[in-house]
């Protein structure tokens, strides 16, 4: 294994692979020298050979010693990094969201299919036992025909503040490579190290950060096709409320996806708020992150700790399951599923194969496009476009050479 991106999520990847028998972390890549050194110290401390270090992911992909890579970069690098890796013959585990825009989603799928590469997206709910069971119950009709799936991303986010641009990045940081496909800008601490999520150049807001997990579960529970067939329109409202800071993406957002006889509703709340259902309940709760499904015979709530099914006018709990305490971590199970597919060469055995992950990412992108366009958008699935020229420009981006997602793979 080679790991690309060694921030918070990349270090989680590192810890998981170090714990999986049969997986050897043999290469580490990050644009920040200090991050590479810290990660390699973990590799050695775990009594493994020191990994090769690369400041440029392309050099890692060229290595004949590497079979597969794990991409834990910022969002704007996911697609290009994964495409380059697959073109170099590497199977790829790529963090969510799969892409930074819908054009990238298509190109990732096309690359995986043409080159017969395994491409798993880090939507680990797809490998989490109690969530898999909950979705199976919905498919079997435990609450009848579902008319609405709701995703909640009520995750407390405090103001990031304001900091000045600097003429030079910190020593040991390749700022040009960090920006990659994004426009060149002067270094600013708030555009680096996690807060990149809140700038359109590099992130997709919380709907595309935490929220993409719950968006995927909404689509999973409703049984929606990955092709977006049947989607009629998207509308999204909200804003960045309460704070005067440098964040560009909304901290409060409500999106609705209309399928005629059913809908997906998604809500982001980053400022102080209560929960919904029993999600986020309790006097000390600050987050409500999960899903609600509403059917003609009842409703279900599901989050990282459990699911509950309520039926009938009495709102009786008829089935529930808590996540197993001390059980296997969902990410580890997800990575084990990926490595099994690397060996079997059966991409259909992947629980969050690129088509699944791309579909969830696209819905986050559609919501953000509708929010930025400021209007309800009608979707033409045959042409794969909206009814608005300005919105359609946001289906892709202007790439900064040489960091260009190819139009033809």
Q: What is the pLDDT of residue 101?
A: 98
What are the average pLDDT values for consecutive 10-residue runs of the chain, which has 409 residues?
97 96 97 97 96 97 97 98 98 98 98 98 97 98 98 97 97 97 98 97 98 98 97 98 98 98 98 91 84 98 96 96 83 97 98 98 98 98 98 98 96
Q: What is the pLDDT of residue 237?
A: 98
**Dihedral of CA 4/201/187/209: which sign?**
negative
Question: Rounded distance, CA 345 to CA 347, Å?
Answer: 6
pTM (two decimals): 0.97
Tokens 């892709």 belong to 396
Q: What percent of the residues of the chain are helix, what percent strand, and what percent coil, each to the nearest 5?
A: 35, 20, 45
Half-sphere exposure of 403 (CA within 13 A, CB side): 23
Q: What is the pLDDT of residue 324?
A: 84
Edge-to-edge strands, sheet with 27-29: 52-54, 27-29, 2-4, 68-71, 91-94, 119-121
Domain 2-125+330-354 shares a fold with domain 130-161+187-324+360-393: no
DSSP 217-284: HHHHHHT--TT-TT--EEEEEEE--S--SS--S-SEEEEEEE-SS-EEEEEEE-SS---BTTBT-STT
Reduce the DSSP state of residue 81 to 3 states and report it.
Answer: helix
CATH number for the domain whose boundaries are 2-125+330-354: 3.40.50.720
Paired strand residues for 322? 306
Q: Can you say how many angstroms the Cα of residue 370 is from the centroid of all Cα atoms in its chain? A: 19
Q: Is 67 left (phi over 0), alpha (psi -120 to 50) or beta?
A: alpha
**Dihedral of CA 314/318/324/329: which sign?**
negative
Please report, for the chain, the start and end positions of each structural domain, with discontinuous segments joined by +.
2-125+330-354, 130-161+187-324+360-393
Angle between helices 330-344 and 8-19 (to 10 degrees): 60
CATH number for the domain whose boundaries are 130-161+187-324+360-393: 3.30.360.10
> Residue 222's closest CA among 68, 397, 360?
360
Reduce the DSSP state of residue 22 to 3 states and report it.
Answer: coil
């Amino acid at each position: 294994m080679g790991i690309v991106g060694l921030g918070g999520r990349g270090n989680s990847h590192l810890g998981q692979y170090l714990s999986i028998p049969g997986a050897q972390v043999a290469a580490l890549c990050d644009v920040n020298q200090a991050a590479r050194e810290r990660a390699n110290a973990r590799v050695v401390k775990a009594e493994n050979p020191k990994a090769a270090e690369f400041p440029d992911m392309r050099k890692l992909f060229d290595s004949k010693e590497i079979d597969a890579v794990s991409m834990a970069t910022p969002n704007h690098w996911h697609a290009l990094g994964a495409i380059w890796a697959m073109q170099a013959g590497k199977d790829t585990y790529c963090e969510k969201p799969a892409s930074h825009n819908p054009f990238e989603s298509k190109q990732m799928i096309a690359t995986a299919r043409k080159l017969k590469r395994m491409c798993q997206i880090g939507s680990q709910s797809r490998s989490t036992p109690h969530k898999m069971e909950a979705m199976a119950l919905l498919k079997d009709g435990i609450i009848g025909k579902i008319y609405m799936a709701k995703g909640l991303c009520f995750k407390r986010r405090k103001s990031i503040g304001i900091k000045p641009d600097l003429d030079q990045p910190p020593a040991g940081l390749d700022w040009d490579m960090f920006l990659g496909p994004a426009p060149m800008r002067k270094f600013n601490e708030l555009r680096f190290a996690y807060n990149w999520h809140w700038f359109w150049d590099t992130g997709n807001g919380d709907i595309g950060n935490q929220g993409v997990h719950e968006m995927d579960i909404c689509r999973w529970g409703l049984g929606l096709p990955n092709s977006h067939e049947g989607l009629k329109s998207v509308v999204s409202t909200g804003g960045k409320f309460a704070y005067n800071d440098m964040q560009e993406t909304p901290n409060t957002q409500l999106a609705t996806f209309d399928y005629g006889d059913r809908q997906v509703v998604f809500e982001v709340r980053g400022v102080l708020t209560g929960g919904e259902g029993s999600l986020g309940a309790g006097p000390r709760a600050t987050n409500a992150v999960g899903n609600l499904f509403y059917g003609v015979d009842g409703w279900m709530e599901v989050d990282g700790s459990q699911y509950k099914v309520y039926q009938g006018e009495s709102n009786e709990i008829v089935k529930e399951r808590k996540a197993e305490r001390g059980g296997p971590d969902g990410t580890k199970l997800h990575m084990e599923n990926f490595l099994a597919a690397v060996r079997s060469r059966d991409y259909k055995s992947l629980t969050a194969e690129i088509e699944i992950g791309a579909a969830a990412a696209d819905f986050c992108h559609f919501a953000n496009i509708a929010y930025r366009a400021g209007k309800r958008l009608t979707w033409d699935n045959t042409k794969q476009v909206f009814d608005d020229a300005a919105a359609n420009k946001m289906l892709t981006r202007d790439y900064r050479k040489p960091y260009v997602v190819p139009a033809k793979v």
